[in-house]
Every structure is written in structure tokens, then in C-alpha cells.
Amino acid sequence: MAHVMTAPPGGAQTAAAARPFLAALEQTLPPGRVLTRPAELIPYESDALTAYRERPLAVVLPETQDEVVTVVRLCHRHGVPFVARGSGTSLSGGSLPVPGGIVIGLNRLNRIVRLDPQQRLAVVEPGVVNLAISQAAAPYGLYYAPDPSSQPVCTIGGNIAFNSGGAHCLKYGMTSNHILGLKVVLPDGEVITLGGESLETVGPDLVGLFVGCEGLFGIALEVTVRLVPRPERYRTVLAAYRSLAAAGGACRGWWRRACCRAPLKSWTRWPSPLPKPP
């Protein structure tokens, strides 16, 4: 999942105009973490929506939160647009580079900073893979519920950028229902904190405003997520109906009886070799 953001106005950079900016980047980060060669940039031209492509001016691979903040401040100072990228699994062009801008890859910010089973929360960096949170919480009978159907690959930063849903949102809600707090770097490089570690908030829901903004308000540096108890058991049911209306009515009945509390999927065509209902 991509993590999208653009910097303040500055427009596309010509190669000559970009040299001072690129030189500043290379002085800021160790060798090998500022990519500028065409062959290095090709994998970052698009996300999973490969019909749209744009080659970035450069790709930056920070490994710490401070490095992300430094890069964002350089972009602001030089007027260079940027897009922050996670695993790039978005099917909506979420991490498509801005012409003349750079890509900030966040996969190396992949630490689970803290896991508190008593408070049922975890503090993670944006490059942590969705499924890794559940794996870390499993020994305590907990897990991170939102799953956009790409949880072995997608990162929490991208999930936040798009307020990802998925099959589990029927019971558990969207990503925004599971984010308690955020540490964010704004487009001008200022670092702020939104929310906290409690389900109860005072004042405007700034966390809810940030989640789903497609990165336009800033880059999440640290995320406090809510963990929930793992269900004691699962039962999988396959049922066939003559119409979508009949299937929807059955789902309502299951929900009222608390029988269907997990993912729901539907097909409008019968997957072979299953027979049609009589």
C-alpha cells in the first residue's frame, strides 16, 4: 500500500535546477540511500496500478525518523514535491511520483517500538508490515484487526494514508477505528503529535482527519494502533442464493443473531465446480 504526499508548491525541477537539492540529499544520507540512476528509479515509477507511470527525480531510503524529517525539510526549502511510499501495493496510483519530485521510501522504518498487551496497543513505525503487528501480538491472544487483503505485504503507513478497509471491516471497522495516536512530520518539516493512547479523545478528532488524507497532511513517523482479542474459533460457511437481495437478507439475519462476526465475501458468478442452487 502506498503512502502519498506532496510538498509545498515548487513545480517540477529541471535537471540543472535540481543539482543543489540532490547534492544536499547525498550529503545528508549515507551512500547508496539516494537513488538517481534510471535503472534504480524504474521500480518506483508506479505502484500496482502499472497503467500510470512517472519517473521520479530521485528515490530516498531513510532508515530513521530523523532522516525522514531532514529530507522533508530539504524538500520544503528547495520547493521539491515528494511522495512517500510503502510497499507500493495500492491499485489506485497512490504512490505515483510527482513530476520533478522525489519518492521517500519508508520500508526501512520497520520497528515495532512498543507492544503493551495490558493496554492492548502497539507503537510501530510506518514501514511495519500489517501482518507483523498481529504476529507480534499473537502470544498475548491479541491481533491487529484491519486487513486490506494484502496484509502480508502492505505497510501500516499506507493503510493510514488510504484508511484501508478490507473484508474485516464489517465487524471491526476501517483503519481509522484502530489508530489511537500519530507522530507526524508536516510538509514544512514540523513534527507534531496527534491523539494518544486512549480510546477517549478531547476536542477535534485530528487522528481521524489525518487517516485517509492520502498523505497530503504529512507523513506518519510513529503510529499507536489498537489491538483486539483474537476470536476463540472460526467457522467458515458457504451458502448459495438465487439473488443478491436474498443473500443480503440472509446476512442481516446472521448479523442480528450474532452468527456472522467476521469477513464476508460474495460472488455474482459461481466458482467452478460448485453447482448452482436448486
Whether residue 137 has pLDDT greater than 70: yes
Q: How confident is the model at residue 11 (pLDDT cuts 50, 70, 90)?
A: very low
C-alpha to C-alpha distance for 147 and 29, rounded to whole angstroms: 34
C-alpha to C-alpha distance for 116 and 39, rounded to whole angstroms: 43
Please name each of the domains of the chain with its CATH number: 15-105 (3.30.43.10), 112-229 (3.30.465.10), 236-278 (no CATH)
Which DSSP string do the residues of 37-106 spell out, in sequence order?
A: SHHHHGGGS-SS-TTS----SEEE---SHHHHHHHHHHHHHHT--EEEESS---SS-TTPPPTT-EEEE-
Return the amino acid letter for 223. Answer: V
C-alpha cell at position 17: 535546477
Please name which of 227, 219, 272 lies closest in space to residue 112, comparing C-alpha atoms.
Answer: 227
**Quick one: average pLDDT of 247-269?**
70
- Helices (H), ranges, the chain: 15-28, 38-41, 65-78, 130-137, 156-162, 169-172, 206-210, 244-256
**Quick one: average pLDDT of 163-174?**
81
b/e burial code for range 180-205 (CB count within 10 A of at least 16 → b): bbbbbbebebebeebbeeeeeeeeee
C-alpha to C-alpha distance for 209 and 203, rounded to whole angstroms: 12
C-alpha to C-alpha distance for 196 and 265, rounded to whole angstroms: 34
Q: Residue 126 in contact with residue 92, Cβ under 8 Å?
A: no
The values of phi and psi at residue 105, to 5°, are -80, 130
Q: What pLDDT was estimated at residue 121?
A: 97
**Quick one: average pLDDT of 210-230?**
94
The fraction of the chain above a pLDDT of 70, given in percent, is 87
Beta pairing partners, 185: 191, 219
- Which has more confidence, 3 or 73? 73
C-alpha cell at position 67: 532522516
pLDDT digits (tens, 9 = 90+) for 78-131: 999 999 999 888 888 888 899 999 999 999 999 999 999 999 999 999 999 999
